[in-house]
Amino acid sequence: MSIQKLTVAMLAVSVGSLWAADVASGAFTLKGDVQTHLEKRLWDEGKDNLLDKYYMRANFGGKYTAEDVTGEFNIRLFVPNFGNVTIDDSKTTIKSNKINGDSSITTKKIDNVVLEKAVIELKPFKGFSVKVGHWSTDYSMSGLLGNYIDQDVDPTKLFLSRTYYHDAVEFVYKLNMFTTSVLVGGTDKSLNTGYMRVVETVKIPALKLVADAGWRGNILDSLSFPDASPAHYNRFFLRLQDTIITGSGNLVPYAEIAMVDKLSSSGVLLEKQQGVGNIGVKITPPGLKNTQINLEGEFEKDREVNGKDRSIDWNIALTQKCGKRAKLQLYAFSDPTGEKASNVEIGSRLTLSVE
């Protein structure tokens, strides 16, 4: 059976199982939020504008939970008057400092309405689940650094953009402290290109230790184009976090390292197995359970910006929850588009939610 037919069959089984679920035994919850987001460079590139980026967006979604199935969706709506007008990405460019010799970056078309999440997770028996749909994964502790199994360390990436979205089928099996995830995802609308992603997670409660290790490779490309010799890439990552101080506050050091093959935007293999990693600490101050502070550093081997070594980046982040309805995120970090780690950018995001 072809990959395309197998995927369609899995979708049909999933939707049919959800329809047949015992609605009376489940619960459906509506939720939504409004987010205000801003960014400002505190070096030469930010001198022409009050803010380098400012937008507002709303999220609206729902979640159905039953014993044997979970379904969730989220629709994201951007306010068009605040920098989110749909643009022609074939003609429009934005000014930027030079990155590896490029003096401008072509903007991408922005949709004002986005289906951010649509996923069904079947739970046929204890410990095993099958997830089908569109959803995100993120191993980053602050949303700014990490998640190397899925994301490139790309200077043109946006602030808080380490989350990666999959159109995929995922099989998950949990046994005691071990969780195994096998995911097959597509990267184009015809399923001619795609990848497999395998992650093993180990949680040791006695040590308050969590370890993740995984691999990702573009194996679907070879299945669809056996004679085209596509560029093969592999990614390997290891992540550790351990709570070493508990009580009214806590201290959680963490680290993530990876070896990744670097590809160009057209899929050409540039470099084999480059090293990248980050180390950080998450702090919850004593008596302030709704406050989180992250201090992080990131290292990427042989990275250059404009011909100058830029192997190190850093981030300081504060997340403050205000009751059940509000969350404020504040960041100061090294702008990845600058030639020096001392080129500082600040950013913030305020989220107001209802449920």
Q: pLDDT tens for residues 46-77?
A: 888 899 888 899 999 999 999 999 999 999 99
Structurally, what CATH architecture does the domain formed by 3-354 represent?
Beta Barrel (2.40)
**What pLDDT, on the 0 to 100 scale, is given for residue 96?**
38
The winner for highest mean pLDDT among 98-102, 175-179, 215-219 is: 175-179
Q: pLDDT tens for residues 254-282?
A: 999 999 987 766 667 777 888 999 999 99
- Dihedral sign, CA of 14, 19, 22, 27? positive
Q: In angstroms, what is the C-alpha Rg of the chain?
A: 21
Q: Is the pLDDT of residue 105 over 70?
A: no
Helix (H) or strand (E) holding 224: helix 219-224
Q: Is 195 in contact with 187 (CB distance < 8 Å)?
A: yes
Question: Which residues, at least 6 apart from 187, have a Cβ–Cβ distance to it below 8 Å?
Answer: 193, 194, 195, 218, 220
Q: What angle do CA 126, 127, 132 make, to 5 degrees?
A: 105
Q: Maximum CA pair distance of the chain?
A: 63
Nearest alpha-carbon partner for 122 in 14, 16, 199: 14
Q: pLDDT tens for residues 282-329?
A: 999 999 999 999 999 999 887 888 778 888 999 999 999 999 999 999
Q: Is 77 in contact with 61 (CB distance < 8 Å)?
A: no
The ranges assigned to domains in the chain are 3-354
Q: Is the pLDDT of residue 84 over 60?
A: no
Q: Is the pLDDT of residue 20 over 60?
A: no
Q: Is 151 in contact with 136 (CB distance < 8 Å)?
A: no
Q: pLDDT tens for residues 192-235?
A: 788 999 999 999 999 999 999 999 998 887 676 656 566 788 99
**What pLDDT, on the 0 to 100 scale, is given for residue 197?**
97
Q: Is the pLDDT of residue 6 over 60?
A: no
Phi, psi of 224 (to 5 degrees): -80, -30
pLDDT band at 166 (very low <50, low <70, confident <90, very high): very high
